[in-house]
């Protein structure tokens, strides 16, 4: 595929990435984000797009009294969670932004130390509540790496099926809320309408619409339900058809393009300097996806492409997510067609509880079940880090075991936390009217930030 010639072009891996600016990030420490007068760079005019003109460049002769600092948040609807922004305004121009986090204060990483390794799934699934299955998978991979257990092929395939469907549902929410924030109210209804189709399948499979605790160390909580093939087939038919409706509504809509193109630009160098991953990094032209770079759970067996953009603006981030929905459905179709037979969890009795029917037949099975769910299982001492490609970027789990039945330490590398660091770069010298568009394009989940 040829290199794109406009911001409406999105391409996939295998093509040459666009050249990125040599402008490097300076002053990435905490002091650089303080609310004080800052010097305007050439980048402010050249790379912020058509919404920034020469008349808006900071004039050092302007008195500080003509600037004001306002708080945006921490109310949920406009900031996508309990996020607070300190915004320095010069008229309607944003001169400085400081994200302030910590209002959710869940303390999940510390809570993990009080739970057994088996109970940990009920904790981590609530971090990124739009992608709970990804949290469960990342945590389970870390525990399994310390245990050294093998996961059956069927369990691996089901994990990929469920997490890719979860990616689709998460991106549908991102597209829906992004549209609503900018004024495309129909997108809110359309996006949640299609997401409902996936949540119904999740409820049928796991018993819950969200926070499933379905992917567990050693495998899965249960096998796929009867009739799952028909449910997946319906998803594969209805969602691509709906995506075409989204494209007809937004892709070349002049209002949508005017509100998103050239807005919230962040370059590839800046993304790398701030640890930004996921669709935001790929929209800046970097084809980095852990499903390709560091495959997990057998995902390397499936054919898909890495979707990238060129400008790194709000519009490209929207286009990348639409492309990733198509690619995830492509993976789901391959998994459904090649679903292996076999067990849905490991046969290692130290990790896996006995089958439910055996509990009524065997006292040993009943004792085994009781011990697993009350005391858990012991994990060899050591430390490990497992990472996967979540809908918002690299999701990592650092786990330390001292040989007991509960983690000594657990730390999550949350993509939303890293991505929010880039907000001051994206919003510098932009219009205050574009603030919500920039936040929405990052698709942050505050449960992923305030752990």
- The CATH number assigned to the domain holding 248 equals 1.10.645.10
Confidence at residue 355, expressed as pLDDT on a 0 to 100 scale: 82
Confidence at residue 81, expressed as pLDDT on a 0 to 100 scale: 82
75 assigned to some structural domain: no
Q: Are 188 and 180 in contact (CB under 8 A)?
A: yes
Phi and psi at 399, nearest 5°, equal: -130, 135
Residue 198: C-alpha distances to residues 12, 80, 205, 322 (Å):
26, 22, 11, 16
Scored b (16 or more CB within 10 A) or e, 60-78 reads: eeeeeeebeeeebbbeeee
Handedness of CA 233, 238, 240, 241 (dihedral sign): positive
Handedness of CA 114, 120, 125, 127 (dihedral sign): positive
414 assigned to some structural domain: no
Q: What does the angle CA 269 – CA 271 – CA 272 come to, to the nearest 5 degrees?
A: 65
Strand partners, 99: 85
Give the domain range for residue 186. 118-375
Helices and strands: H and E segment counts in the chain: 19, 11
Tokens 């092929």 belong to 153
Tell which residue, 245, 389, 230, has the closest CA to residue 304. Answer: 389
Q: What is the dihedral of CA 319, 324, 326, 329, to 10 degrees?
A: -160
Tokens describing residue 117: 């390794």
6 assigned to some structural domain: no
Handedness of CA 338, 344, 350, 351 (dihedral sign): positive
Strand partners, 89: 68, 94
- H/E stretch holding 411: strand 409-413
**Contacts (Cβ under 8 Å, ≥6 apart) of 344:** 152, 154, 155, 158, 219, 220, 222, 223, 224
Residue 46: C-alpha distances to residues 53, 62, 310 (Å):
9, 22, 16
Rounded Cα distance between 249 and 54, Å, is 33
128 assigned to some structural domain: yes
| Residue 44 CB coordination number (10 Å) | 18
24 assigned to some structural domain: no
Tokens describing residue 253: 């809509």
The stretches of 75-184 forming alpha helices (DSSP H) are 76-79, 108-111, 120-124, 132-147, 153-182
Following DSSP, what letter does each residue of 428-447 receive, concatenated? TTEEGGGHHHHHHHH---HH
Rounded Cα distance between 335 and 329, Å, is 10
Confidence at residue 399, expressed as pLDDT on a 0 to 100 scale: 96
Q: What's CA 215's distance to the chain center, in Å?
A: 17
Tokens describing residue 244: 């075409």
Half-sphere exposure of 190 (CA within 13 A, CB side): 23
Q: Are 50 and 262 in contact (CB under 8 A)?
A: yes
- pLDDT tens, residue order, the chain (451 aa): 444 434 345 555 444 444 443 333 344 344 344 444 444 444 444 444 434 434 444 455 566 677 899 998 787 777 788 899 999 999 899 999 999 998 888 889 999 999 999 999 999 999 999 999 999 999 999 999 999 999 999 999 999 999 999 999 999 999 999 999 888 889 999 999 999 999 999 999 999 999 999 999 999 999 999 999 999 999 999 999 999 989 988 988 999 999 999 999 999 999 999 999 999 999 999 999 999 999 999 999 999 999 999 999 999 999 999 999 999 999 999 999 999 999 999 988 888 888 877 888 889 888 888 888 888 889 999 999 999 999 999 999 999 999 999 999 999 999 999 999 999 999 988 999 999 999 999 999 998 898 8
47 assigned to some structural domain: no
126 assigned to some structural domain: yes
Classify 390 in phi/psi space as left (phi over 0), alpha (psi -120 to 50) or beta: beta
276 assigned to some structural domain: yes
Confidence at residue 5, expressed as pLDDT on a 0 to 100 scale: 39
In the chain, the number of structural domains is 1
pTM: 0.86
């Amino acid at each position: 595929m040829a290199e794109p010639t406009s911001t409406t072009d999105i391409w996939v891996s295998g093509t040459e990435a666009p050249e990125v600016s040599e402008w490097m990030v300076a002053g990435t420490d905490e002091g650089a984000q303080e609310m004080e007068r800052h010097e305007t760079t050439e980048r402010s005019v050249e790379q912020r797009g058509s919404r920034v003109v020469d008349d808006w460049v900071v004039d050092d002769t302007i008195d500080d009294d003509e600037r004001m600092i306002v708080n945006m948040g921490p109310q949920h609807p406009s900031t996508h969670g309990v996020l607070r922004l300190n915004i320095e305004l010069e008229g309607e121009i944003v001169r400085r932004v400081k994200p302030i986090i910590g209002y959710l204060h869940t303390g999940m990483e510390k809570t993990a130390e009080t739970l057994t390794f088996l109970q940990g799934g009920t904790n981590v699934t609530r971090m990124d509540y739009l992608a709970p299955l990804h949290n469960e998978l990342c945590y389970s991979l870390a525990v399994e790496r310390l245990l050294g257990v093998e996961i059956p092929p069927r369990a691996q395939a089901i994990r990929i099926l469920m997490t890719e469907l979860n990616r689709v549902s998460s991106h549908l929410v991102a597209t829906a809320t992004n549209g609503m924030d900018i004024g495309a109210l129909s997108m809110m209804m359309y996006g949640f309408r299609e997401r409902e189709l996936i949540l119904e399948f999740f409820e049928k499979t796991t018993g819950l619409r969200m926070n499933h605790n379905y992917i567990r160390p050693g495998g899965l909580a249960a096998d796929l339900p009867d009739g799952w093939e028909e449910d997946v087939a319906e998803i594969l038919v209805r969602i691509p058809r709906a995506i075409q409706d989204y494209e007809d509504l937004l892709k070349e809509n002049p209002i949508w393009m005017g509100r998103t193109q050239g807005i919230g630009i962040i370059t590839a160098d800046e993304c790398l300097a701030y640890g930004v991953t996921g669709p935001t990094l790929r929209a800046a032209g970097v084809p980095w996806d852990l499903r390709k770079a560091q495959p997990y759970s057998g995902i390397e067996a499936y054919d898909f492409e890495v979707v990238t953009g060129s400008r790194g603006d709000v519009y490209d981030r929207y286009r990348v997510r639409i492309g990733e929905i198509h690619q995830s459905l492509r993976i789901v179709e391959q998994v459904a067609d090649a679903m292996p037979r076999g067990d849905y969890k490991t046969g290692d009795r130290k990790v896996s509880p006995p089958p439910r029917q055996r509990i009524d037949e065997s006292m040993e099975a009943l004792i085994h079940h009781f011990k697993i769910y009350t005391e858990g299982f012991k994990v060899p001492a050591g430390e490990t880090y497992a990472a996967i490609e979540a809908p918002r970027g690299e999701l990592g789990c650092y786990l330390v075991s001292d040989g007991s039945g509960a983690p000594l330490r657990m730390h999550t590398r949350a993509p939303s936390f890293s991505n929010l660091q880039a907000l001051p770069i994206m919003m510098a010298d932009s219009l205050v009217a574009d603030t919500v568009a920039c936040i929405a394009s990052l698709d942050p989940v505050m449960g992923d930030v305030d752990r």
